[in-house]
Amino acid sequence: MENEPGTKFFVVCEPGTQHMEALLKVVYELYTDYVLKNPFYEMEMPIRFELFDINLTQAVQKDRVALLGR
């Protein structure tokens, strides 16, 4: 198998956890909005953008609250 370049996102969760596909879609949308559209970002660089981090944290916490009811 060839080495595939690019950024990959994954979520570690219990089997059967719902809404993970939707969460990954949100993560990808944040990535395109805050990372790929940033003129200072070069592919394969570590992602170090505060707005991406903030919005990613909010999305994960929102999903966690929906799943756990907390």
Would you state the pLDDT for residue 13? 85
Average pLDDT over residues 1-11: 71
Q: Cβ distance 63 to 23 under 8 Å?
A: yes
Is the pTM value of this prediction over 0.75?
Answer: yes
Give the model's confidence band at 34: pLDDT under 50 very low, under 70 low, under 90 confident, else very high. Answer: very high
What is residue 33's DSSP assignment?
I
Q: Cβ distance 56 to 45 under 8 Å?
A: no
